Amino acid sequence: MRAHRRAVRAGAGLLAAALLAGCGLLSTEPEPSATADGRPGDVSASPSPDLKETPKTPPLPAALTSQRPDWQRCEAPRGGSAPGSAWRCTSVEVPLDYAKPSGETISIALIRKQARDKDRRIGSMLFNFGGPGGSGVDILPRAASSYGKLNSRYDLVGFDP
């Protein structure tokens, strides 16, 4: 009888260990260490042979990084819920191909509704309404009433991709 109980206990223990290992709770792999600043560290010192270095993108030219958008009053596009002086429009130049940042550029239109509580303003909320072909400059004013609470402390910004 005792031998039977031992066999049942041993079998139950092996089954539990197999289940825990299958769920990833028992692992034979070393846990990643953390660096002094709390970032995850490497498990091993040697890099994996199948990892390739990510190609580096050339830096953007100063003509693009030094742009200061010149926000001007504009009317909300037709169908907008908040026409008039609450809206500001501008455009910025961006590379047509980020792999060739010194090559051709395109102009992207932006529209902004400034935060209502300027003293408690947090920053800007950039909306990308998706696509294809949708205009964030047209959609944001039509949807602005849905974002009233956000607009109290954030500038709402839409763009045409």
pLDDT of 6 above 60: no
pLDDT of 103 above 80: yes
Instruction: List the 123-127 sheet strands across, edge first.
Output: 72-73, 87-95, 105-113, 154-159, 123-127
Question: In terms of C-beta density within 10 A (0-12 exposed, 13-18 middle, 19 or more buried), how is residue 80 classed?
Answer: buried
Percent of the chain topping pLDDT 70:
63
Look at residue 12 and give its three-state secondary structure.
helix
Q: Which of 41-50, 74-83, 130-139 has the highest mean pLDDT?
A: 130-139
For residue 89, what is the enclosing H or E element? Answer: strand 87-95
Model confidence at 76, pLDDT cuts 50, 70, 90, reads: confident
- Does the predicted TM-score (pTM) go above 0.95? no
Dist CA 144 CA 96 (whole Å): 29
Model confidence at 97, pLDDT cuts 50, 70, 90, reads: very high
Measure the CA angle with vertex 122, ends 106 and 134; round to 5°: 35
Please indicate whether residue 47 or residue 138 has the higher confidence score (pLDDT): 138
Please indicate whether residue 15 or residue 109 has the higher confidence score (pLDDT): 109
Model confidence at 21, pLDDT cuts 50, 70, 90, reads: very low
Structural tokens at position 13: 């223990």
Output the pLDDT for position 39.
Answer: 60
DSSP letter, residue 8: H
Output the pLDDT for position 104.
Answer: 95
For residues 44-68, give the mean pLDDT: 78
Q: Enumerate the β-bridge partners of residue 107.
A: 93
Instruction: Return the domain boundaries, the chain.
Output: 62-159
Dist CA 134 CA 161 (whole Å): 8
